[in-house]
Amino acid sequence: MHDRKHKWKTMDAATTILLAAVGLIMIYPFIWMISVSLEQTANLALPFPPRLIPEQFAWFNYKLVFENNALFLAYWNSAVVAFFSVMLGVASALLGGYAFSRGSFKGKRLLYFIVLATMMIPFETRLIPMFTMFNDLGMINTKYPLILPSLINALGLVLAKQFFDQLPEGLRESAKIDGAGEFKTFFYIFVPLTGPITATVAILAFQDSWNSFIWPLVVINDQDLRTVPLFLSNFSAENGGRLAGITMALAAMSILPILLVFLFFQKYIIRSVALSGLKGE
């Protein structure tokens, strides 16, 4: 028995070392990105051989990035779009999820099926009509096309529905006896209980919004309205491999917000990824 325990320990240690080694390879591109962004000579040529720690530290790449108005604008645009997308997405997911969980109305099953089916339809099939629609509305080169489609948040709605399903029905009955209508019951009894699921839905919506690329690429041409991924892709397309130091500093800056959100809320994110995968979304 004792021998077996000992064996376990060495296996654990071996596994940990192996995982740490593979994990280092996984994370290496980011470490290298930061290293290049801090390297004195990186703007002339990529440091060769590649190294983990810069030979000569220099901050000027970040200084250039900070002093650049265009990046600040891109950040601002991404933040505004993300904020309103998250608000819309969370509101519609919670309201819809509650109705599908607690409501009884005609066409409930069909409507729920339609919500699930929207998850299967590739975005590209809707790309051109979405563009022409916003174009007809005069909304190209505005933030509206980046925000409004968040109204439909099928995954968030499904997650919210399942969360509401777990709450006891007694909650609703007691509120009803007190004379509260459906909206009052929803806002005062149920919404305050939704903390974890609201966090999950909000983070997923934030990630979607912050990382979104093809749709902003289609509807935004104005330089001043570019979101962070558009700015980054423009910059790296224009400069190729020439300005490696600045490019890596930009990439690092673009990752920072999403990385912080991820590290803070990793529990929620990982659980929701697992849930969404289990559902086959």
Partner 1 sequence: MSLVNAERQRALVRSERQPASRLESRAVWYVFLIPSLLGILLFTVYPLIESLRLSFTKGVEERYVGGANYAEVLASETFWYAVYNTVYITTFQLLIAIPIGFLIACLINGLRRGSNFFKVLFYIPNATSMIAAATVFLAILHPDGPLNYIVQLLGFEKIVWLSQPVSAKWGAVVLSVWHWLGFVIIINLANLQAIPIEYYEASSIDGATRLQQWWWITVPNMLGSLTLLLVLGWIGGLQRFADAFMLGGLQGSPARSLHTVVGFIFERGFGGNEYGIASAASYILFFFILLFTYLNTKLLKMKI
CA distance 260 to 203: 11
Q: Considering only CA atoms, which of 32, 23, 25, 30 is closest in space to residue 50?
A: 32
63 vs 271 by CB, closer to partner 1 = 271
273 lies in the binding site for partner 1 (CB under 8 A) = yes
Residues 58 to 87 in contact with partner 1, rule: CB under 8 A: none
How many C-beta neighbours within 10 Å does residue 149 have? 18
277 lies in the binding site for partner 1 (CB under 8 A) = yes
CA distance 122 to 129: 13
The CA-based dihedral angle spanning residues 145, 146, 152, 153, taken in that order and rounded to the nearest 10 degrees = 170
12 lies in the binding site for partner 1 (CB under 8 A) = yes
Residues 192 to 251 in contact with partner 1, rule: CB under 8 A: 207, 210-211, 213-214, 218, 228-229, 232-233, 236-237, 241, 244, 247-248, 250-251
CA distance 146 to 134: 10
260 lies in the binding site for partner 1 (CB under 8 A) = no
5 lies in the binding site for partner 1 (CB under 8 A) = no
**Residue 165 C-beta: closest distance to partner 1, Å:** 15
**Residue 40 C-beta: closest distance to partner 1, Å:** 16
56 vs 266 by CB, closer to partner 1 = 266
CA distance 238 to 232: 10
Residues 117 to 176 in contact with partner 1, rule: CB under 8 A: 118, 120-133, 148-153, 157
